[in-house]
Structure 1
Amino acid sequence: MVAASKMRKAQDRMRAARPYGEKIRLVAGNLSHALTDYRHPFLTVREDVKAIGLIAITSDKGLCGGLNTNLLRLALGKMKEWDAEGKKLKVTTIGSKGLGFMQRAGADIVSQLTGLGDTPHLEKLIGPVKVQLDAYINGEIDVLYIACTTSCTSPARSSSTP
């Protein structure tokens, strides 16, 4: 009963945030295609990728079906692919499930955050994410990926993306 109530509240928050996320993607897409004299460093595509940053966003607890498993399986596949290509990888984990997995996988974890709870606050996320953004600006990584669950169609089905 409590789990169903928590899930319903989480789904309501997700639905309420969806229009904001869609608008942010639209604005970012328009900015990246705008013809201006100034190009923000985050919108510049680097051709020769030698080092990759990965932010893996998982839950702190495991009672969420295949959400963490599917996401981490996808991330592991990409990590093996990048390793085979000789690319260095720096990982940031958000959520204890991702942290434990990346530690067992032997990943180079440069920052991490756990214990966000049901209502995460932006100020807690800034520190770990800034580590990766600074690495990009300083040329330590050439591209930054975010591995997260992009849609949750039901408690049993979700899809992830790196």
Structure 2
Amino acid sequence: MASLKEVRNRIVSVQSTQQITKAMKMVAAAKLRRAQDSIIRMRPYAQRLSQILTNLSELTGESVSNPYTVKRDINRVLIIAVTSDRGLAGAFNSNVLKGVTSLVAEKYAAQMAAGNVEFVAIGKKGHEALLKKGYKVNGDFTHVFGKLSFDTVRVAAELAMDGFRNGTYDQVEIVYNEFKNVATQIVRREQFLPIVEKEKDENAKNTNIPDYVFEPSKEEIIQELIPKSLKIQVYKAVLESNASEHGARMTAMDKATENAGELLKALKLSYNRTRQAAITTEILEIVGGAEALAASR
């Protein structure tokens, strides 16, 4: 049985840890509110931009020729993995890395075997994990979340877009955590390039499409909107991941605080039992000594 001092030291250590996890939970909750507001504001904008692009494409008739819609034989692949800069967020980062691993195994095993799969890691944890596995990681986006903005994310999007446009990559995928609520994050694996055309509903009527006035022309507007839409798509994924990270960390720290509370209860019970046993032993020693003195008289 541990001594009273050892148990007391453990109690102090666990109490200190519990205070830290409580503080981290409160910080994560505050950051989550801001991150959640950002993604809630971004979703309608991204959806509206996508809808305008779809409407313009339908009005134009045939698909507008664009370097981001070209389909080629898939020889070289780029995967964008969005993780976080810090840990202590439960399975948040490991789930993304598992999603990346399963994506490669299911769709790009041959390309990986040929050494033709490359990665862009947005977030320090993903960058370190992919390098540790010996994968080729392009760019350094390990501190994007320190000053998260469209401009910082745009650089990563342009790296992938330029690589696809000049033929360096034939396919680009993005893997990230989508924010659903504080306790739930869903790993998404989406094809980024070439652009996936939405299935047309044959029963849908074009009467619902607004009567746009075009200046300069439909084709030029589409050519301008597609790159912007792609960058917004990556930025939205990063915002989703950011909100998911804070939700995951808040949940993890809440669970850690609860576990610390349970451990404190067990340690205090052990401390009381140890102390009680020590007191009982002392009483027995005193009684035994008293009886020995009485017998010697």
TM range (shorter): 0.7 to 0.9
Query: Which structure has the greater CA radius of gyration?
Result: 2
Q: Which residue of 155, 160, 164 maps to 1:127?
A: 155
Give distance in 1, aligned partners of 2:56 and 2:117: 28
* Equivalent pair of 1:149/1:160 in contact (CA under 8 Å): yes
* Equivalent pair of 1:65/1:156 in contact (CA under 8 Å): no
Q: Deviations over 1:10-51 (max 9, x none)?
A: 1122212221122233344456665347411102222x1111
**Residues 1:75 and 2:103 aligned together:** no
Q: Which has the higher helix share?
A: 2
* Equivalent pair of 1:49/1:143 in contact (CA under 8 Å): yes
Give the gaps of 5 or more residues in structure 1.
none
Q: Deviations over 1:72-111 (max 9, x none)?
A: 1111111233452235112111110110121122211122
Give distance in 2, aligned partners of 1:94 and 1:30: 32
How far did 1:118 drift?
5.8
CA 1:35 to 1:147, structure 2 compared with 1: closer, same or farther past 3 Å? same
Of stretches 61-70 and 29-38 in structure 1, the one that deviates more from structure 2 is 29-38
* Equivalent pair of 2:118/2:138 in contact (CA under 8 Å): yes
* Equivalent pair of 1:54/1:144 in contact (CA under 8 Å): yes
TM-score scaled by structure 1? Answer: 0.83
Give distance in 2, aligned partners of 1:43 and 1:29: 14
Of stretches 113-122 and 52-61 in structure 1, the one that deviates more from structure 2 is 113-122
* Equivalent pair of 2:111/2:117 in contact (CA under 8 Å): no
Residue in structure 2 matched with residue 41 of structure 1 by the alignment: 67
Q: Percent identity?
A: 27
Give the gaps of 5 or more residues in structure 2.
1-25, 190-297
* Equivalent pair of 2:80/2:122 in contact (CA under 8 Å): yes
Q: Which amino acid aligns with 1:43?
A: T
Q: Which amino acid aligns with 2:61?
A: L
Q: Which amino acid aligns with 1:81?
A: E
CA 1:101 to 1:24, structure 2 compared with 1: closer, same or farther past 3 Å? farther
Q: Which has the higher strand share?
A: 1
Give the secondary-structure state (helix, strand or coil) at the position aligned to 2:168. coil
Give distance in 2, aligned partners of 1:25 and 1:37: 15
TM-score scaled by structure 2? Answer: 0.48
CA 1:10 to 1:128, structure 2 compared with 1: closer, same or farther past 3 Å? closer
* Equivalent pair of 1:64/1:155 in contact (CA under 8 Å): no
Aligned CA RMSD, in angstroms, stands at 2.3
How far did 1:116 drift?
2.2
Q: Deviations over 1:105-129 (max 9, x none)?
A: 2211122302123651222223333
CA 1:100 to 1:21, structure 2 compared with 1: closer, same or farther past 3 Å? same
* Equivalent pair of 2:81/2:174 in contact (CA under 8 Å): yes
CA 1:80 to 1:118, structure 2 compared with 1: closer, same or farther past 3 Å? same
